[in-house]
Structure 1
Amino acid sequence: MVYQPIPEVSLYASYTRSFQQVVGTTFDRRLFKPERGTQWEVGVKTDLTDKLSATLAYYNITRSNVLADDPENAGFSVQTGEQNSQGVELDIAGEILPGWKIIASAAYTDAKVTEDADFSGNKLNNVPEFGASLWTTYEIQRGDLQGLGFGFGLFYVGERQGDIANTFTLPSYVRTDAAIFYQEDNFRASINIKNLFNIEYFESARNDREVFPGDPLTVVGSVSWKF
């Protein structure tokens, strides 16, 4: 549902229920139950200018029979009784000035196991309590260098649990990305740089024996033509 009290502001609310069959077995070969979920969300979207908008939302998601990596038996899964995730998200996107675009977001998430014989009260693994990102680009609008652009971004991921048993944590990190691109008519060429300063960080984990590091300094070039 969407309600627009004035043209620049939209209030919205949504409600969703889900059902999904889960494939696989536990370590002791028991079949998994189907996963069920309920989600509701309320928020407000406002047009700061005719090219820049902001959205503030609160959401609440409850899921039951959710699979999690088995902390005691690598390569297997366990099924938690019920999980709940709720939080607040703020997003700002659009064009600040001619050629200068921005995508910014910040989120607070409270995600935990709410009903389970073994893990009740534990935080969900790989879910940071705080996260934020900023990506901005500027494209030269006129002159001999028209079409040349630059991008810069910061991505913050807070501390999070490494497994569903909450036996260890993954540290927070800030990753810096960058880009340079050129486009004219149907032609576009770009160089994208991930992890500009080559920091060492962990993206996720299944257990204390399977912890996955983030990519090192990575440079990807691309050329495209639209027909």
Structure 2
Amino acid sequence: MRLLLVNANTSRNITEHLAAEARLSLPAGWQLNTATGAFGAAVIQSRRDCAVAEHACIEAVEARMADCDAVVVGVSLDTGLWALRQTLAVPVVGLLEASLLTACLVGGRYGLVVMGRQTVPLYRELVVRHGQAARLAGIEAIAAGAPEVYAAPEQFESTLADAANRLVAGGAESVILVGAVVAGMHRRLQPRVAVPLLDGMACAVTQACGLAGLALPKPGAGSYRLS
């Protein structure tokens, strides 16, 4: 079985980082392949970035679509997710989507820790689009953007833990660390937070491979049918 991990931005080093984390959750018998966007932003952080990256994501996957049994969209803004879900006959799962659904299984209300205050409206809208707004306890944004965090993740560990704990104090029963650049950091931070910390890559790989195992048919009606 083959899982395709697509990074919709152009940063191959982030693709490699995500792939290393994905392999930690990959079931036995699965092979991981990767694809990276050929154009657009190095790190997606705005509405314009998302619009361009959606095209890049679709092109990157379509070039490899005969080569996979499931797809993980390795972007925390789930860029291209819905278009790919219509286009492909295999399961397609996004990082934020998988985290939100997992949060519903481990507790009641959940919180998000995101990179950069300018991204808060985008994530809030995305939570609504995924139908999970009623369980959102809050969003904490650290001042640094994704590029700064990726360049020196150790410097931001206390900041991330403090943000997670503020969400817990506000009623969150699980906390999602949002962003491809923080993939894997939940393992180091978990001892400092009293509720489960959820990692988008671990959640997405587990769900994508599980869905492939269900072997569900492609919808023949509705908006996700092949056209």
The bucket for the TM-score relative to the shorter chain is under 0.3
Question: Comparing both structures, which one devotes a greater share of its residues to helix?
Answer: 2
**Largest Rg, 1 or 2:** 1
Structure number with higher strand proportion = 1
